Structure 1
Amino acid sequence: MPYHETVTLNTGAIMPTVGLGTWKSAPGQVEHAVEFALKNGYKHIDTAYDYGNEAEVGQGIKASGVPRSEIFLTTKLPNSQHGTPEKALEESLAALDTYIDLWLMHWPAPMKHGRPDRSLNWIDTWKKMEAIYEKNKDKVRAIGVSNIGVKYLKELLKEAKIVPAVNQVELHPSCAQEALVQECLKDGIIVTAYSPLGSDNSPLLKDPVVSKIAAKYNVPTANVLISLQANRPGVTVLPKSVTNARILANFKILDLTDEEIKELNAIDETRHFRACKPHWTGWGSLGWEDQE
């Protein structure tokens, strides 16, 4: 299946298919990673308020010398500021020192002091984000969601005035979420895949199917896993690294055959796991884990 370098959001904006993820990218490293990635072909950078690195991401963008108009930048509303999204946005804009191409609700999980805040409804938060977006299109070019499964997505679309431009979720062969991807595409929502390798030291990197395909193309197994997501229609992908060699390697996308894609997707049938589990939110007790 041919890989497309960009996708088009429901706003008409162009989003590069492969972006640099910055989750867990430490201060003192992420600025260089962003600068290096942009100087070497990346045009899509993903961060979040809760990553604690927005300021360095902004510094890396400036240091790269790449025109801002050529870069697609995503950040996210933290769980702790569902009640004050306008304040959170202003803090992100100040830290990044530039406008935001895509602003996501990080989780459908309002939090207060590290615990679920039952006084707030995440759909009400979305409505606030809609209003903020309508008033600030020079600062925020699109809004979307993250970690939203099929059930929650359907609930949101019943009340939303603005259809999310993107839903960013965990996607890899052991967490394919095909029903969710298809539901998003049906509604005109682009899907962004995080954790495309599964996790740090993921067993997928040594999976025999992944290894066989990597050997055929003479690439690291990580390239196969990243390429799988980039080959899915309407899906973008966020490989993450702060190492120059890996940043370069991760940008090499393969045109996988239909048979190879079928083989990789079959992994999900035998060994399903998630790298990012929402237990830390306490949200499972409120039905988060059952909403896919």
Structure 2
Amino acid sequence: MLAGMHLLFTSLARALGHCLHRKVVAWSLLPLLLMAVLAMLLSWLFWQPALQWTVQSLEGVSWLGRVWDWLQQQGWGWGVDWFAAMLLVLVSSAVLVLLVLMLVSLFMTPQLVAWVAERRFPTLERKQGAPWWQSLAWAVGSTSAALLLLVLSIPLWLIPPLVLVLPPLIWGWLTYRVMAFDALAEHASQAERQALFARHRMSLLLMGVVCGVLGAAPSVVWASGVLFVALFWLLVPLAIWIYALVLAFSSLWFAHFCLAALEQLRQQARQGYAAPVEVGAHGA
């Protein structure tokens, strides 16, 4: 237990320190660049047709017709176009954020794991325990299971203490399943991965819950950007950068923890203390 806690906190300290590294900061700025490029491309190709469709849709809503007529009587005929443009910006920004973060999560995490392995574990053998398609299937399966658990647990949210416990636990479980699998995919064999999941399940779950709570913090910034429209263009990029930085921190924490635990497991196996295949029945 003490060894596990020591590994947990040392990996946390290393992850926090590496978040300040210029390379990690540069990687965390990648979503802003991607979003800017995609926004310019989509606005050039689709902005005018999308804006016309939005205006027509708003004008087709009967109860809004009186509002538009009143605006025109007040000399604010441009209000319809302004509201349509703002609505289009909010919706398209949300779609862009989801798309960019999905792309970053697919490419940033493997890069950070490889970077940690190169700097700290250069001699750790790579057993290629999980190809990319298996990682993708694992992520999709884990996400589907987490969403199902969330839906099934909704009635329990009516009990005040459980609403503060169940969602973080479910998202923490999902985070540790995906992050730990990706951290071990290249270096650990299937049996080693199963052994580590069984041995460090509680530590990994705690890490997942912490990362899940941190991942919810940028939502406050995002919501503020929607609420305070004047600051939208400042707060939304800030929220995206925080999302990417939290993702980088989570990837670094799981990479340091899992690779160090894998190195420790192999050392113990060589000394005859443990054999990774013995706990394979626990699953991963």
Larger Rg: 2
What is the TM-score of this pair, normalised by structure 2? 0.20
What is the TM-score of this pair, normalised by structure 1? 0.20
More strand by share: 1
